[in-house]
Amino acid sequence: MTDIKIAQIGCGYWGKNLVRNFAEIGALGAVVDGNSGTAAAMSAQHGAPVMDLDAVLADPAIQGVAFATPAETHGPLAARALAAGKHVYVEKPMALTAGECRQMIADADRAGRTLMVGHLLQYHPIFAALRDLVAAGEIGALRYVYSNRLSLGKFRVEEDVLWSFAPHDISMILALANRPVTEVTAQGAAFVTPGIADMATCQIGFEGGLRGHVFASWSHPFKEQRLVAVGDNGMAVFEDSQPDWDKKLAIYRHKIDAAGPVPIPTPASADYVVVPKGEPLRTECQEFVTSIREGRPPRTDGTEGLAVIDVLERAAAAMKAA
């Protein structure tokens, strides 16, 4: 049980998972949903009262609110919650424009409250291990990072695949790069729903010559979720679609002899890094609660969320101009 109570706003497709995790860490203070049946079911299952948003914002016993609502509502809802003195979590994407994100950050700063964005994979134990080994120089100087997020569906009609799939990948690549973005280009194509890209690639250039690349598609023959970091002394692979947990993170110590007229590679077998199991969403929910209690920014704070939206916005402009 925790002294911090969170109201979950939106208990549908993804919100129900947040409800469960906040409940399991003893932090669920209330549930709010436009569908009274959904709200009642969540209340009965997890023992938290059904409230409306006005009541939540007026209740001093609730310190934070978590929004799993459409992205276009995040800015206005966050503004109301922050003005009421609540700490705020919003699901990805943080908002639909970088301007909205900056306003949300300003509102949080003015209120002196936490603003957190739900970039789930930042809290995945495997990615955390990858981030740490890259930062420690385990694969040498980082040269290139790419991520594939591919599957057959779920097709959307309100947002394209870049905005739906790529925020997680961009968030991870920015965390690994840990340096300013200098360039963003992108290409996409709409084959299923006119005007809604169902495949897209995004290229990111960083200070110092590091390159990043995201390939996202929901019109793909099989599921693939793979992040590859290439350094000058090794290569690391986070394959979340790998069913065997102990094989989700691999390091390849390939050698390249460039002394002669033609570089000669010497392949190496995978060394698997065993990481203790953990549920990313549980860690993410705990991070929100802990950041409130300790008065510190969460790992995926408003500034991190803004950086992701800035890349997405620039990628969308490049796709439109292509």
SS3 assignment for 141-170: CEEEEEEEEEEECCCCCCCCHHHHHHHHHH
The string of DSSP codes covering 92-155 is SSS-SSHHHHHHHHHHHHHHT--EEEE-GGGG-HHHHHHHHHHHTTTT-SEEEEEEEEEEE---
Percentage with pLDDT > 70 across the chain? 100
Which domains are seen in the chain, by residue range? 6-119+280-300 (3.40.50.720), 122-279+311-321 (3.30.360.10)
Torsion sign (Cα): 39, 43, 46, 49: positive
pLDDT in tens, 163-200: 999 999 999 999 999 999 999 999 999 999 999 999 99
pLDDT in tens, 71-103: 999 999 999 999 999 999 999 999 999 999 999
The pTM of this model reads 0.94
pLDDT of 1 > 70? The answer is: no
pLDDT at 155: 85
Q: How high does pLDDT run on average in the chain? A: 95
pLDDT at 255: 82
